[in-house]
Amino acid sequence: MSELTATLRIFEAHPGIFAYYDGRVAGKRLHSAAANWLDDGAYGLGIASYAIVDSGTALIYDTHISVPHAQAIRAHIEGLGVSSIRVALSHWHSDHIAGNEVFADCEIIALKLTAEALLANREEIARRPPPIEPLVMPNRLFEDQLELYVGSRRVELHHFDIHSADGNVVWLPDTSILLAGDTLEDTVTYVSEAQHVATHIRELARMRTWPIHSILPSHGDPARIAAGGYGVNLIEANRNYLERLTELVKTTEGSAGSLADFIATDLSSGAISYFEPYEAVHRKNIAALAAA
């Protein structure tokens, strides 16, 4: 086992759906003491990639935060007898594509928007610590929706413009399970495209019309993911947060109290859970929306 994957946990969140969760480990950093995207975003907040496995085939949803993490995922599913692997990318951000090279011999599926964003940001991806080099690109693209089979399981990929313009979710219609990527997050969404927050709110409303039974996000509470994920009230909580954030920035100079107070209603309902590092995310979100 690589030192980088010493805290990686593997959960079977639902039969044949595996979560590869790392992070939310107090006092531990993987890359360096200096600021970097891996420690201060993905690992600090906690992150999961997923695999859907059936009849010797697998669909990997995101390749995780490092090459060793991707190697661990591949070793696990091959240990289950999988011989046919495909990958689907949730969006272009580094913490979701860092292990792509481990699956360079596989079909890597992504939205056309994701491929365009990866190309446009290739130099930054290779420069920001820890660098991702080489960057293995997706080799099968779609624009709005794509249907696949993983063994006997029907799987649909759908475009949602939430968090990032190229959000791609995995929907299992026969079991009503949604693998949400970064379109949904617990404790609160990370605002990465502040100028499009109104669109994100509308898209969350569209998502809420789906007959979803359980949600598995990339960033969330490991215990809840291990137990099968979140209910549809996670969608409501994310939309409530963005609506309140927008109103806050419109009506004040952008200052606010604690995140815990800001989201108290959704915390008390159990829709989301409180994780203190999201206080910093909340402050960044306010600043980003105020600037936009």
CB 84 within 8 A of CB 119: no
Of 181, 187, 165, the C-alpha closest to 238 is: 187
Q: What is the mean pLDDT of the chain?
A: 96
- Could you tell me the sign of the dihedral formed by the alpha carbons of 105, 95, 218, 292, in that order? negative
pLDDT tens profile 134-172: 999 999 999 999 999 999 999 999 999 999 999 999 999
Say what the pLDDT of residue 257 is.
84
Q: The sheet that has 153-162: what strands, in order across it? A: 145-150, 153-162, 164-172, 177-185, 214-219
Say what the pLDDT of residue 253 is.
61
256 sits in the region (left: phi over 0; alpha: psi -120 to 50; else beta) called beta
Low-confidence ranges of the chain (pLDDT < 70): 1, 253-256
Q: With respect to CATH, is domain 3-191+212-232 assigned 3.40.50.2300? A: no
Bridge pairing between strands 145-150 and 140-142: unpaired
Residue type, 102: V
144: exposed, middle or buried (C-beta count within 10 Å: 0-12, 13-18, 19+)? exposed
Say what the pLDDT of residue 21 is.
98
pLDDT tens profile 163-214: 999 999 999 999 999 999 999 999 999 999 999 999 999 999 999 999 999 9
Say what the pLDDT of residue 1 is.
64
Largest CA distance in the chain: 57
Global model pTM greater than 0.85:
yes
Please, which residues bridge with residue 167 across strands?
160
Residues near 279 by beta carbon (within 8 Å), at least 6 away in sequence: 258, 259, 260
How far is it, in rounded angstroms, from Cα 154 to Cα 202? 27
Residues in the chain: 292
Say what the pLDDT of residue 292 is.
85
How far is it, in rounded angstroms, from Cα 266 to Cα 34? 34
